[in-house]
């Protein structure tokens, strides 16, 4: 792939919502042109549902739709084989097989850059191997890779700090140069948040919460109902990990621990009126973490609303449940 300006497709789904800025900055610094699929729409979701196996969870089906949207327009797709992104922890196994599943489903399928990312045992060595593998796909090695990695790390960490400060949480909107139209900015003045707004924790996978179509913009809806939203990404790693120490056993799923830690931390905050947990139909880890979070919330007397989404979820029914929950919280406060 040397000496050619490659068009690399990056599906705007799943871990794009956690590492999008890193990936884009890295590839751009290597001189690769990055094309990110548009925000999820009905067309993209329907495309994904038509291609994916029925047993797949909703976010994986949507990922297929994004990959298929890009397939005819790019020279290659970036679909990393994510095994682990931190020591002694793992990513859901569905993501390990994603490159193979896409090769079987997309006809024709462009070349897939499927670098393995496994930081479970030796995080530093694992990261170096992954980064070199990503660059090697374009015939690049040496100091250019180090420089690209430094640029990616710098942007990524600035983005994380912004999230913790409650800044434009729109992970969906992490591309500064091309904000997705209509993306709700959690730090903006939209909605009717006031100083005595009810503080509501909204927990769940980033690829559900920040994908406005897939996640039905729950944070935006809460804010329009007068709530102030707190998201897992607004918390620090220390807050999340400290809260997780209450659990009798360490959760070894990275996202499960992040969600559970955020839930436990928010339950301890007196000024947090309630929690909303957004889950995906067909998600094994969610069924476990959702139940665990709900049990802890019940023990601590913290109101808890579980919303499970699939491709057939109707927005009207979801709005009704959300409004009833918020109404109950207002009554509780004024009782």
Q: Where on the chain is the footprint of ligand SF4 (CB under 6 A)?
A: 57, 59-60, 92, 94-95, 205, 280, 283-286
Closer residue to ligand SF4 in complex, CB, 6/15:
15
Tokens representing residue 5 in the block: 């300006």
Q: Which two tokens stand for residue 56?
A: 């797949």
Length of the chain measured in residues: 335
Query: What is the closest distance, in whole angstroms, from the C-beta atom of residue 239 to ligand SF4 in the complex?
Result: 22
Report the nearest approach of ligand SF4 to the CB of residue 91 (Å): 8
Q: Which residue, 227 or 256, has its beta carbon nearer to ligand SF4?
A: 256
Supply the DSSP string of 168-236, one letter for each residue. ---GGG--TTSPPTT---TTSS-S---TTPEEEEEEE-HHHHS-TTTTTTHHHHHHHTTEEEE-GGGS-
- Does residue 260 contact residue 285 with C-beta atoms inside 8 Å? no
CB of 206 to ligand SF4, least distance (A): 10
- CA 324, 206, 69 angle in degrees (round to 5)? 110
- Shortest CB 308 distance to ligand SF4, Å: 11
Beta carbon nearer to ligand SF4, 199 or 308: 308
* CA nearest to 279, candidates 254, 259, 308, 317: 308
Nearer to ligand SF4, 100 or 176 (CB): 100
Tell me how far, at minimum, the Cβ of 319 lies from ligand SF4, in Å: 23
Output the CA–CA distances (angstroms, integers) from residue 214 to 121, 157, 209, in the order listed: 34, 26, 8
């Amino acid at each position: 792939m040397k000496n050619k300006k490659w068009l690399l497709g990056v599906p705007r789904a799943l871990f794009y919502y956690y590492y999008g800025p890193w990936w884009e900055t890295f590839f751009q610094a290597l001189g690769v042109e990055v094309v990110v699929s548009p925000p999820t729409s009905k067309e993209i979701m329907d495309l994904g549902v038509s291609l994916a196996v029925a047993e797949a969870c909703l976010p994986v089906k949507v990922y297929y739709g994004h990959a298929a949207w890009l397939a005819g327009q790019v020279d290659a797709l970036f679909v990393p084989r994510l095994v682990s992104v931190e020591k002694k922890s793992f990513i859901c196994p569905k993501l390990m097989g994603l490159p193979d599943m896409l090769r079987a489903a997309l006809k024709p399928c462009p070349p897939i850059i499927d670098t393995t990312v496994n930081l479970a045992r030796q995080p530093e060595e694992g990261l170096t191997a992954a980064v070199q593998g990503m660059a090697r796909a374009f015939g690049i090695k040496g100091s250019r890779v180090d420089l690209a990695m430094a640029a990616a790390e710098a942007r990524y960490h600035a983005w994380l700090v912004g999230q913790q400060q409650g800044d434009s949480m729109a992970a969906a909107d992490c591309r500064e140069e091309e904000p997705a139209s209509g993306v709700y900015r959690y730090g903006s003045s939209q909605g009717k948040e006031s100083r005595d707004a009810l503080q509501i924790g909204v927990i769940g996978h980033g690829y559900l919460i920040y994908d406005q179509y897939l996640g039905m913009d729950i944070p935006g809806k809460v804010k329009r109902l007068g709530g102030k939203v707190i998201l897992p990404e607004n918390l620090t790693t220390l807050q999340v990990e400290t809260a997780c120490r209450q659990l009798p056993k360490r959760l070894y799923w990275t996202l499960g621990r992040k969600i559970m830690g955020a839930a436990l931390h928010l339950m301890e905050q007196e000024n947090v009126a309630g929690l909303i947990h957004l889950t995906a139909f067909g998600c094994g880890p969610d069924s476990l973490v959702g139940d665990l979070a709900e049990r802890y919330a019940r023990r601590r007397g913290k109101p808890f609303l579980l919303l499970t989404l699939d491709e057939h979820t109707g927005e009207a029914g979801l709005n009704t449940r959300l409004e009833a929950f918020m109404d109950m919280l207002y009554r509780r406060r004024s009782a």
